[in-house]
Amino acid sequence: MSEVYKLGDLVWAKMKGFSPWPGRVSHPSKDLKKPSNTKKGPVQCIFFFGTNNYAWIEESNIKPYHEFKETLVKSSKTGAFKDAVEAIEDFIAKGEIFEDGLDPDSLFDRLKDDTISVEKRTPKTTPKMRKETPKQKRLDSAEIRRPAKKQRTESSTSNSIRVGSLSPALNHSAAARKSGSTLLNRPSNIARPVTPPLDVETLSQTLKEKNIMPSTLKFGFLGLGIMGSGIVKNLINSGHSVIVWNRTQEKCIDFVKAGAEQGLTPSDVVLAADITFSCVADPQAAKEMVFGNCGVLSEMSPDKGYVEMTGIDAETSKDIAEAINAKGGRYLEAQVQGSKTQAQEGTLVILAAGDRTLFDECQSCFEAMGKSSFYLGEVGNASKMNLVLQLMAGVTLAGLAESMALADRAGLQQKDVLELLELTSLACPAILEKGKAIIEGGFPTQLPLQHMQKDLRLSLGMSDQLEQPLPLAAAANEVYKHAKRLGYGEHDASAVYIRARF
């Protein structure tokens, strides 16, 4: 353990490509491996408040929390950053301590057990039933708030990169108790949509008809989510050599059985592959995949290619391209139009921009993934084109949701509306598919609502830069945000109907 920072110290920790973030020197999780080569000195395992993830950070990128608090808090205004600062301040205010000698997983399990036991033995009383002295009140609330003085923490992810929040429900529970239950609070009874298991080894009829001649190159793929899993399935079944990585390693098992290899970290995948694809949640995750510990940049070299398939904005794409090119690598953005079904059937539309030779080398892969691929020139053009198309889709779906809500309120049968719509010039597969989802009310995820809202937000950001008014998109974005707040972010985008109806 370093003499400068000790276990439990509160700090500001900076990952490459990101601003300093409030954290705490902690034990690493069981599967968080310490970097083998630390060129710039000793490293510390940091727990990041707000995101509840862990990463190894060089001590040169760590500063004491209280000493630099005033300066750094003023330097960032993002909502996620403010939430993280609030979390560490709440941690300080409650006087919670880190118990040395326990790994984070064990610590969380013990805290969970203690919390359950406290709830069982704490009687439900009101001020009218029992009078309390100030001292008694302080002791009772302290017992409930911090059982056994242990730190609240979630289990770490399987990688060393700080990617997303592990438990939004836990993160927001304290705030919900303070503010009380309101319409905007996430309901606790919204079940997450069930994702049926993917049959990785069965070829789709579309793929059989393509008769693809696979490339002899080796391809890496980072991210096996709703879109990535379908894409990788078709790469494997078309005969391509693939090595995969996913934050949740269990998702890799079926793909390994189907013939893929598995990398332990994103950098392992880049090292083993000639060309690596990435398809993760959003711009933040895309940057962390590249700049984070054990990320893409650590193994990027002149003989490597990197293809970003995450739905991102042009500025993020250019930042990633600059970093990849600085290491001698080649970069291509390849945005996709389509949903889960199209990804699994291999009928996506691919919009690419960047290195033309890399685009040509990926042609057999694009043929397996989709029905058409387009090269749009310099980096950023594909991201812009994708956001333009997503804006159309998002606003159209919000309009469909409001129309179906109006029909229901007017006493009309929604299935009649859809049958008549199918006979008009407005009929198209996307509208009819979403209309059926609205009528059935299950909203099985084809394109997550939170991803649609993300694309609308990025479109509005692009409009701000170009000073192009987007009043309809701005209104639609608010509707999606509200549906997301109601608990439907992981459901299909058609769940925006819930906000329109209620």
**Amino acid letter, 415:** K
Q: What are phi and psi of 190, to 5 degrees?
A: -80, 110
Give the model's pLDDT for residue 151. Answer: 42
**Same structural domain for residues 391 and 371?**
no
Number of H helices, E strands in the chain: 20, 13
Report residue 462: phi and psi, to 5°: -65, -40
Task: Identify the three-state secondary structure at position 99.
Answer: coil
Q: Which of 379, 414, 442 represents a domain boundary (last residue)? A: 379
Q: For residue 161, what pLDDT is reported?
A: 37
* Rounded CA separation 127/143 (Å): 18
DSSP code at position 300: -
In a domain, 336, yes or no: yes
For residue 235, the SS3 value is helix
d(CA 158, CA 480): 31
pLDDT score at 15:
80
**Same domain, yes or no, for 462 and 495?**
yes
Output the CA torsion 21→26→30→36 (10° steps). Answer: 70
Per residue of the chain (502 residues), what is the pLDDT tens digit? 456 888 889 999 988 767 788 999 988 876 677 776 656 678 889 988 887 888 888 888 899 998 888 888 876 657 778 888 888 888 888 775 554 444 444 444 544 454 445 444 444 444 444 444 444 444 343 333 444 433 444 333 333 333 333 333 323 333 333 444 333 344 445 777 777 888 898 888 899 999 999 999 999 999 999 999 999 999 999 999 999 999 999 999 999 999 999 999 999 999 999 999 999 999 999 999 999 989 999 999 999 999 999 999 999 999 999 999 999 999 999 999 999 999 999 999 999 999 999 999 999 999 999 999 999 999 999 999 999 999 999 999 999 999 999 999 999 999 999 999 999 999 999 999 999 999 998 899 999 999 999 999 999 999 999 999 999 999 999 999 999 999 999 999 999 999 998 7
Q: Could you give the angle at the alpha carbon of 456 between the alpha carbons of 451 and 457, nearest 5°?
A: 95
* Within-domain flag for 495: yes
Q: Are residues 217 and 356 in the same domain?
A: yes
Q: Report the C-alpha gap between 473 and 463 in whole angstroms.
A: 10
The domain spanning residue 481 has which CATH number?
Answer: 1.10.1040.10
| Residue 448 DSSP one-character state | B
334 assigned to some structural domain: yes
Give the residue from 82, 17, 61 showing the smallest Cα distance to 286: 17
Asked whether residue 226 falls in the same domain as residue 269, the answer is yes
Same structural domain, 159 and 93: yes
pLDDT at residue 87 in the model: 87
Q: Please state, as a whole number, how many other Cβ atoms lie within 10 Å of the Cβ of residue 186.
A: 16
- Mark whether 294 and 318 lie in a shared domain: yes
Whether 25 and 150 map to the same domain: the answer is: yes
In a domain, 189, yes or no: no
The parent domain of residue 105 ranges over 10-179
Q: Which of 379, 410, 444 is the last residue of a domain?
A: 379
Q: Is residue 291 in a domain?
A: yes
Number of domains composing the chain? 3
Residues 131 and 59 in one domain: yes
The CATH number of the domain where 252 resides is what?
3.40.50.720
Q: For position 172, which CATH number holds?
A: 2.30.30.140
Helix/strand/coil for 372: strand
Same domain, residue pair 16 and 30: yes
* Residue 110 to residue 95: CA distance in whole angstroms: 18
Question: End-to-end distance of the chain based on CA atoms, in angstroms?
Answer: 55
Q: In angstroms, rounded to a whole number, what is the distance separating the alpha carbons of residues 493 and 422?
A: 20
Tell me which of 329, 357, 379 is where a domain ends: 379
Cα–Cα–Cα angle for 378, 380, 381, rounded to 5 degrees = 70
- What pLDDT does residue 353 have? 98
- Is 124 a domain residue? yes
Stretch (H or E) spanning 63: strand 62-64
Q: Are residues 356 and 288 in the same domain?
A: yes
Q: Please state, in angstroms and rounded to a whole number, the distance separating the CA atoms of residues 312 and 354.
A: 14
* Residue 222 sits in the same domain as residue 360: yes
Residue 154 lies in a domain: yes
Instruction: Report the distance separating Cα 318 and Cα 313, nearest Å.
Output: 9
Between CA 31 and CA 158 the distance in angstroms is 6
> Under 8 Å CB-to-CB from 61, ≥6 apart: which residues?
13, 14, 15
Residues 322 and 424 both lie in one domain: no
Query: Which helix or strand (DSSP H or E) is residue 242 part of?
Result: strand 241-245
Residue 194 belongs to a domain: no
CA distance 410 to 417: 12
* Cα angle 111, 116, 121; round to 5: 125
